[in-house]
């Protein structure tokens, strides 16, 4: 049988874990994260395009970034349709 102190300690551990999980979830859906990934993708794509001597590498590097940003949108109408089919 657990003592009152042990129960309180476990409760505190659960609360701390929940704070970490909530922070991780917030980071996963944040625009800050998306922006950092988009900028990294843009510069890597631009450098690659320059390396292969593509014309307009700085302009053409927007294509993968746009694709990435579009893929992060929740598309509410698609989500509603998907949930409707599952329920």
What φ, ψ does residue 50 adopt, rounded to 5°?
A: -65, -40
Asked whether the predicted pLDDT for residue 77 surpasses 90, the reply is: no
- pLDDT tens readout for residues 46-65: 999 999 999 999 999 999 99
- pTM for the whole structure: 0.72
Q: Report which of residues 23 and 73 the model is more confident about.
A: 23
Q: How do the domains of the chain map onto residue ranges?
A: 4-86
Alpha-helix runs per DSSP H in the chain: 4-28, 31-51, 57-60, 62-72, 76-86
The total number of residues shown for the chain amounts to 87
């Amino acid at each position: 049988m657990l003592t009152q102190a042990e129960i309180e300690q476990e409760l505190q551990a659960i609360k701390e874990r929940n704070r970490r999980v909530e922070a991780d979830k917030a980071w996963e859906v944040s625009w800050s994260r998306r922006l950092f990934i988009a900028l990294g993708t843009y510069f890597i794509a631009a450098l690659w395009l320059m390396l292969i001597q593509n014309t307009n590498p700085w302009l053409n590097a927007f294509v993968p970034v746009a694709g990435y940003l579009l893929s992060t949108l929740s598309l509410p109408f698609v989500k509603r349709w998907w949930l409707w089919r599952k329920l």
